[in-house]
Structure formats: C-alpha cells, structure tokens
Amino acid sequence: MTRRRQIYEGKAKILYEGPEPGTIIQYFKDDATAFNAEKKGTINGKGVINNRISEHVFTRLAHIGIPTHFIRRLNMREQLVRQCEIIPIEVVVRNVAAGSISKRLGIEEGEPLPHTLIEYYYKDDALGDPLIAEEHIACFNWAGPEEMQDIASMAIRINDFMCGMFAAIDIRLIDFKLEFGRIFDGDYSRVILADEISPDGCRLWDMKTGEKLDKDRFRRDLGGESEAYQEVARRLGLLNEDN
C-alpha cells in the first residue's frame, strides 16, 4: 500500500488524506478509552465492527434524508468520508437517564426521561468536554443559529429513526453522541453528520434483560465488550455477510 499522509490520530480513529481532494479515510482502531482517556485499553475487533455498524447506520440515515459525510466503506477497518470542518460540539441525545446525567442530577439509571433531551458539550479534551448551554455556543460563535436549528432537528430525526431501528432488534436506545461538520460551497456552507455511530458512542440495553451492549462494559469493567459489540452487529444482520 502506498504511504498516505496522516491528518489526525484520535482516541479510536486515525484520519488519513483521501484519494481525491475533499475526501478523508477514517481508520477504526481497536483502542478504547474512557473518562477522558484516564482509562485505556483495547477491545478486540472493535474497529472492524464499528466500521461496519457505522456504515450501516449512516447509510440508513442517508435514506431518510440526513446529509452525512459517509461515502463508502473501503475495507474491514476503513471508510471514505467527505472532508468537513468539525463543529466543536458533542451533541448528546438522551431518552433514558444513565451515565453523566444520572450522576449530575441524581436521577436513577434506567429512569425514562419525561421527553427526549438534547445536550451540548464543548469538544475539548484538555477541558474534559464540559457541558455547555446553547448560549455559550452563540456567545463564542461555535455554530450559528441556523446551524443549531439544523443540528437540533437532525438530532431528533436521527433519534426517532435509531430508536425504531434498535427496537426492531430488541435493543433500547438509552442515549448517544453525535458530531456534525460543515462543508463549504463558495460562500455557502451546510451542516452534515460526521464522525461515527457505533456502540462506542451509544448506550444500548437489551430490551428484555437490560444487559448493556455498549462501551459501558469497558468503562465499568463488566467484561465481554467484544461479544457485546458483535451481538449488536449480529442483530443488525451485519455478521456472516459476504463482505
């Protein structure tokens, strides 16, 4: 393979320059981190599974009209995506209390929220991705008002779609994280869904048993993380395919 220019190495992915201008290759690693990289490890085969799950979800979201950066999967661990300017906000959508909201507000894990919540976190590793209000986003101009409207409406549509997609395979979508980017066309820019959607950034509980099928297995030392990720892929019909 020809040498490629590495653009960025993150906690779970490496980005390389793509074959055509305006494209990027996302390489999915097996590395796992938690608590702002205080806990480090690997989940065997995670990169392969997340690449496949994220391809599946992004493709299905494109079918319902969500613009995304995904172009095509290249191989077991890589996908070709559109280059975009990442908006420095992590968008968390919550249906059921778990994780940081349970801790912060003293709500028992598993308690359904009165309605779906969208939270914003400032994407900054050094600061530990702090929770922010929309006022901060406006004040520091991290995203414009129209961009925020697009982000919120896409987040709700993505949540509705994903709740149904996972419910069909007996999985409860507790919460998940999204990232968005902007692409430019002359003076005009628009927001697209970027990054990945996989058990690394979602809480997925088995509908019947409540078993956790996501990165909380790693965060909380529950074991069986590879098996849990594989189970999600299997239920989505992504294993044993000729790919």
3-state helix, strand, coil in the chain (%, to 5): 30, 35, 35
Is residue 99 at the binding interface for ligand C5P, with CB under 6 A as the rule? yes
Nearer to ligand C5P by Cβ, of 14 and 98: the residue is 98
Closest alpha carbon to 120 in 135, 102, 107, 109: 135
Stretch that binds ligand C5P, among 65-73, 97-105, 108-116, 142-150 (CB under 6 A): 97-105
> Under rule CB under 6 A, which residues in 122-161 are in contact with ligand C5P?
129
Is residue 61 at the binding interface for ligand C5P, with CB under 6 A as the rule? no
> Under rule CB under 6 A, which residues in 173-202 are in contact with ligand C5P?
175-177, 201-202
Closest alpha carbon to 180 in 39, 76, 61: 61
Nearer to ligand C5P by Cβ, of 101 and 148: the residue is 101
In terms of DSSP H, where are the helices of the chain? Answer: 46-63, 99-105, 134-139, 145-167, 216-219, 225-235
Q: What residues does 183 pair with on adjacent strands?
A: 190
Burial, 193: exposed, middle or buried (Cβ in 10 Å; 0-12, 13-18, 19+)?
Answer: buried
Is residue 215 at the binding interface for ligand C5P, with CB under 6 A as the rule? yes
Nearer to ligand C5P by Cβ, of 49 and 92: the residue is 92
Burial 8-32 (b: 16+ CB within 10 A, else e): eeeebbbbbebeeeeebbbbbbbbb
Is residue 97 at the binding interface for ligand C5P, with CB under 6 A as the rule? no
What is the pattern of x (binds ligand C5P, CB under 6 A) and - over residues 74-93?
A: ----------------x-x-
Measured from the CB of residue 205, what is the shortest distance to ligand C5P in angstroms? 11
- State both tokens at 119: 């939270």
Measured from the CB of residue 11, what is the shortest distance to ligand C5P in angstroms? 9
Residues that bind ligand C5P (CB under 6 A): 90, 92, 98-101, 129, 175-177, 201-203, 215
